[in-house]
Structure 1
Amino acid sequence: MSQPQDHDPELALLEQAFEASPGNLALAQLLAPRWQRAGRWASILEWLAPLARSADAPAELRACVQQARQALGGHTGHPGNQGQSCDAAQNPAQNPDPKASHEAHESHESHETRARTSATSQAPAFLPEPLPQQDDLQALSQFAPWTAEHSSVRLADVGGMDALKTSARMRIVEPFARPELFRKYRQKAGGGMLLYGPPGCGKTYFARAIAGECGAAFFHVGIHDILNMYVGNSERNIHRLFETARAHRPAIVFIDELDALCKRRDQLRHSAMATTVNTFLAELDGLGADNEQLLVLGATNVPWDIDPAFKRPGRFDQRLFVPPPDAAARAAILQLWLAQRPLATDVNDTAIEALAADTPDFSGADLKALVEDAVSALLQGVLQGESERPVCLADLQMSRRRMKASTTEWLAMAKNYVEYANEGGDYADIASYLESSAAVTSKKRFGFL
């Protein structure tokens, strides 16, 4: 086609189909109004004008070709008359004079040649401006590390989860802080680590704390930064991300919702995603590059959907289960969300610890919602005429009775994977948590048992 770049991906598919079958009138009828709106008059004359001369060409197609000729300063006859002359040129039975038919044909061909070589084509004033040739969606993503303000979180700011923080410090923080010691034992800082667990439990916040402890450049990458609708651009975005991160080492790349990018290839519906997965694997292996002091952190709620190739040693071989916060962490989270609010005297440390003990398997997001619900109910009463008062323990307890843990469904699903798909021990941490959890106690039975 004369102008291959276009905003509309559907138009690009139509053009490819028409180029493969240029005599298809149905495709020509679909292309004509789109090219007309885009002001692509030369394309109309080059590809559609020959079809407009056929006896069965629709009137709309002939009118479109005629309008293109008018836009390019050519023939200005009426579309109907033009259609008749075209028919006569194509059908010798209607034009018994072969010389006149030949002259008409040459006249049309010479006019189309002049139209295609016209350098000053202008669309009529009543049509919209031609679409820009450069599609913004084709542009590759730009990656930059977070500022110091975003990376000011430390592991001490994470309430509770002492065992998880100890594991992260040994596996991640110390190799970055003391690279000489680890290099002596042929251990490198970097690699890949997968954070997994139920939603709302602070995986993203925990990753920020790790970056703050390491003093490393932190790249927070969403799936929208990687995936692109144009074939090949997703792979280029992955390569650009790793090249940028290597230039800022020591660096941590955090990819949220990793399962959308690293989905099992036997579950992919589109073959284009398979090449994206392969490119990501190659970048993790550091083929042709050095990934030392480059840590790739991934977070997911469905670790069982991650392609097994990502879990082998050297890639995301280190995995940390981020469970719902324990009692101490829940108390710290409640304290955080109750701070800077007017509180009654009965909302003290003892009461908050008791409330934390009464919220097993609540995520951090659940606890925030509990406090917000209690405050919203109080404000609703004030707006209805009640007197202003501080938040009391009864408000929090009533909100607790209205809520349940959002992690229960995830834990029930995880329990099935632990029981029936844990041959390699990938979900041993989940199994240990479930043994001490009250969220999922009954074993599902099948049939009539």
Structure 2
Amino acid sequence: MADDPVLAELLEVLRRAPDVLPVRMRVAELLAGQGRWPEALEHCAKVLGADPVNAEAHRLLKRCTDAIAELPTASSSVSHYDWEAAESQVSDIIAPAFVDDGPPGPVAAEVERPGVTLADVGGMDEVKRQLGLSLLGPLRNPELAKAYGTSARGGLLLYGPPGCGKTFIAAAVAGELGAGFVPVQINDVLDIWIGASERNLHEIFETARRNAPCVLFFDEIDALGHKRSQLRNSAAMRGVVNQLLAEMDSMSARNDGVYVLGATNHPWDIDVALRRPGRFDRMILVALPDLDARRAILRHHLRDRPVAGIELGAIAERTQGFSGADLAHVCNSATQLAMADSISTGIVRPITMPDIGAALDQIKPSAGPWFEAARNIVEFGNADGSYDELAKYMRGKKFR
């Protein structure tokens, strides 16, 4: 979204914690400095929606609107259509910041019925084994679980490097249970209105309760459940964390039949209270796909494309260390190479092993930076043994 590395880094911070107003103001200033007035204006309006008396935001807002008003018209390089769009955007953005017509109604969470089960997850036998022990086993054998004093209540956290199939596994768990599936993204919860984010979160849980049995899946849970000690300047985000803690309270029978799964790339950023018994007290590492998983992922991404002479086993052997997203990128790049050749020759040809080889020459595994960060956690932040599984995996793969 931005060539400026500082701006790119700040935008990533905002993606994970949208209510940190000083960061949003700094983003607005950088965008204004690049002449990206409508984008800067949007960030100003969001700041004023949360803090209507913010003098700095008011000054920058006026600067943005004045700059947009002075944009050249159709006689120059900016078309009349662009001007009308910018003018409309100004109106749409400014109004919510100053008109107190109350927050909108709560979000309407959608309940899906996944058509996949764990049988559709290639490889990853250790992940499936742990799911059976910690969740599926107790659910399928309630009397036996009762005899041993265990249950499937509380939450289950899937963690690991990005692009390794955590969302797909969560959907497969719902399919395995024959349960509804409610996937929740951060933008389904967060709202600029005070108290609206908490209400959205409550309504999402209520939807899951009304549709029990149901798997409630929070993607990027660290963005919603970030450590409150790091949110001292964001009362709104602290309120969201507190609401999530209340909704997951294991002492309440209201959550019977609701199985809460969370996915994160950064489990070490999650508030410690969310890791206590009855909440996300069980963690499963979803690491890089193994050989069988890589073969299944490659087959999935090539299944509807013209191929000839493709050796999935050979490709899987060559792609150790690749994430599922990396493998999808390889397949897409090979497809583009075959398509480009077909366009130049006028003869449609299938995707072949040389196309895959050429794609692999250009694409490298993307999970390295994640394991670099994880190494510090394993070595210096694992006093309670939470990341023993990760440490064992990294030793086996020689990441340490």
Q: TM-score, normalised by structure 1?
A: 0.65
Q: 1:388 and 1:14 mapped to 2: Cα distance?
A: 60
Taking structure 1 as reference, are residues 392 and 136 closer, same or farther at Cα in structure 2, changes over 3 Å only? farther
The aligned counterpart of 2:317 is 357
The aligned counterpart of 1:331 is 295
Taking structure 1 as reference, are residues 386 and 230 closer, same or farther at Cα in structure 2, changes over 3 Å only? same
Contact kept, 8 Å, 2:307 with 2:350, in 1: the verdict is yes
Q: 1:338 and 1:139 mapped to 2: Cα distance?
A: 43
Contact kept, 8 Å, 1:265 with 1:307, in 2: the verdict is yes
Q: Offset at 1:352?
A: 1.8
Q: 1:15 and 1:163 mapped to 2: Cα distance?
A: 54
| 1:267-314 CA-partner distances (Å, limit 9, x unpaired) | 113122212211211221145543233211010111110111111122
**Higher fraction of helix:** 2
Counterpart residue identity of residue 396, structure 1: I
Taking structure 1 as reference, are residues 254 and 136 closer, same or farther at Cα in structure 2, changes over 3 Å only? farther
| 1:342 partnered with 2:306 | yes
Query: Matches of residues 20-419 of structure 1 in structure 2 within 5 Å?
Result: 135=101, 137-146=103-112, 148=113, 151-268=114-231, 269-286=233-250, 289-344=253-308, 346-347=309-310, 351-385=311-345, 387-419=347-379
Taking structure 1 as reference, are residues 247 and 401 closer, same or farther at Cα in structure 2, changes over 3 Å only? same
Q: Offset at 1:217?
A: 1.8
Taking structure 1 as reference, are residues 164 and 13 closer, same or farther at Cα in structure 2, changes over 3 Å only? closer
> For the aligned residues, what is the CA RMSD?
2.8
Taking structure 1 as reference, are residues 437 and 135 closer, same or farther at Cα in structure 2, changes over 3 Å only? farther
Q: Offset at 1:216?
A: 1.5
Taking structure 1 as reference, are residues 424 and 14 closer, same or farther at Cα in structure 2, changes over 3 Å only? closer
Runs of 5+ consecutive residues of structure 2 not aligned to the other structure: 1-44, 63-90
Q: Offset at 1:154?
A: 0.4
Q: 2:304 and 2:186 mapped to 1: Cα distance?
A: 35
Q: 2:315 and 2:234 mapped to 1: Cα distance?
A: 48
| 1:435 partnered with 2:395 | yes
Taking structure 1 as reference, are residues 212 and 136 closer, same or farther at Cα in structure 2, changes over 3 Å only? farther
Contact kept, 8 Å, 2:117 with 2:176, in 1: the verdict is yes
| 1:313-343 CA-partner distances (Å, limit 9, x unpaired) | 2211100110010011101111222223222
Q: 2:173 and 2:123 mapped to 1: Cα distance?
A: 15
Contact kept, 8 Å, 2:50 with 2:192, in 1: the verdict is no
Contact kept, 8 Å, 1:191 with 1:292, in 2: the verdict is no
Q: 1:404 and 1:12 mapped to 2: Cα distance?
A: 42
Contact kept, 8 Å, 1:189 with 1:292, in 2: the verdict is no
SS in 1 for 2:155: strand
Counterpart residue identity of residue 325, structure 2: A
Taking structure 1 as reference, are residues 290 and 12 closer, same or farther at Cα in structure 2, changes over 3 Å only? closer
SS in 2 for 1:317: strand
Contact kept, 8 Å, 2:50 with 2:194, in 1: the verdict is no
Q: Offset at 1:8?
A: 9.2
| 1:373-411 CA-partner distances (Å, limit 9, x unpaired) | 011012112212264322221111121111101111111
Q: Offset at 1:421?
A: 1.3
SS in 1 for 2:326: helix
Counterpart residue identity of residue 295, structure 2: A
Aligned length: 318
Q: Offset at 1:135?
A: 4.7
Counterpart residue identity of residue 195, structure 1: L
Q: Offset at 1:163?
A: 1.1
Taking structure 1 as reference, are residues 395 and 189 closer, same or farther at Cα in structure 2, changes over 3 Å only? same
SS in 1 for 2:161: coil
SS in 2 for 1:199: coil
Contact kept, 8 Å, 1:188 with 1:293, in 2: the verdict is no
Contact kept, 8 Å, 2:103 with 2:196, in 1: the verdict is no
Q: 1:284 and 1:12 mapped to 2: Cα distance?
A: 27
Counterpart residue identity of residue 342, structure 1: P
Counterpart residue identity of residue 171, structure 1: S
- Percent sequence identity over aligned pairs: 41
The aligned counterpart of 1:97 is none
Taking structure 1 as reference, are residues 405 and 11 closer, same or farther at Cα in structure 2, changes over 3 Å only? closer
Contact kept, 8 Å, 1:361 with 1:437, in 2: the verdict is no
The aligned counterpart of 1:95 is none
